[in-house]
Chain A
Amino acid sequence: MSAQHFENPEITFQPDHSGGTGKIWKIFWVLSVLTIVELGLGYFLYAEHGQIGAATVLATKCLIGVLTLAKAYYIVSVFMHLGDEIRNFIMTIIVPLALFVWFIIAFLSDGNSWKNLRNTNAGSRANQVEQVQEIKEK
């Protein structure tokens, strides 16, 4: 069991710290592999720039985002030991952060709408960016 002598009286149940460092190194390798896969996908976007469709680019970027969330999960859960805390405490941290789901949807679509309004002069003319591109191609 723990070698600690004077425990904090606020803590009712001491977590078991007798384990080795195996899990820490395992998570280090998980994070490294996830980062290398992300870099590989990033390099794929660079090498294939202009040769792959917008949908493939978006899908790759979303995949990189999912891998980033996986890294965040491992850091918070294992390195920060949040996974070892009791459920009520985990919820007081995670539930407020769920607001980010809405923030991202709302603000990015707002940015996109802003771009469309600017390119079309608030809907009063055809999309200007496409016109510029056509001229360039001729």
Chain B
Amino acid sequence: MEAATAGTRAAAEAQPRKRGKISNRTKSERRLGWMLCAPAVIVMIAVTAYPILYSVYLSLLRADLRFPGDRAFIGVDNYVTVLGSSLWWADFFHTALIMVVSVSIELVFGMLLALVMHRAIFGRGLVRTASLIPYGIVTVVAAYAWLLAFSTPSGGFVPHVLGIQHDLVDQGHPVTSFLVVIAAEVWKTTPFMALLLLAGLALVPDELHEAAKVDGASAWQRFWRITVPLMKPAILVALLFRTLDAFRIFDSAFIIGQNGTNPKIETVSILGYNQLLNRLNLGLGSAVSVLIFLCVLVLAFFFIKVLGTERPGDAA
């Protein structure tokens, strides 16, 4: 910021007497700033704020595209239906379970990967390149790689090697189905977690480690007493991003659940999708959508207000 505005500030200070001119300059600078931001802001707001309000409106209606004549305002009935159904709570539980387990594993693996990327005495470039491939790969492709490796009917090598006859990812085997979804998520997103942590790791001064070493601190002590406390902001940002992302999980659970047909690993996003696009029930589906939105808001609020996560880019 300082460097960026230094030029304009210097120019303004060069003519301290002509106050009117300065305020004109400020005015035109403001106008230019708003004009340059307007297109991006309009696109972002138009495609999120309007639909979410429309979603709220639809969620208060009995609106089923198969019975268009039956549309009526029914207040919070859709929410009562959704929150009173065991389906919503089962899917909510699945989503929360996938979120907590995969983000926890990612934090540990991500930290280890970040340490390798930061400290390895050789092969750092190779490790970074290799880990960017899971990050960049299409999530649906990653999900298929894991599904086809574990599914018996599609000839997965895992059950073949282990001599397992039953399907590991069908409805009858929820535990292994969950493990495959979590494995696919962890594999795909650990590199992202690691890169966010790496950014924090780079901010920990080497001198502190050297000083602690001289004082006789072990590597384990140095990690917990120096690295982790100094990295806390980066860890919280990484957790915030990944937790919100994991709660919205759709792609991998949808593919591994055979196009969203395995109710044992159905997540809230898949529930919303099925209501909206398979059953064409806009009212109930919108209620689910709004509830997901509220859950994400609560999670974000928890991270930012309760844990004190700094909003990234707050330097402005």
**A associates with B:** no
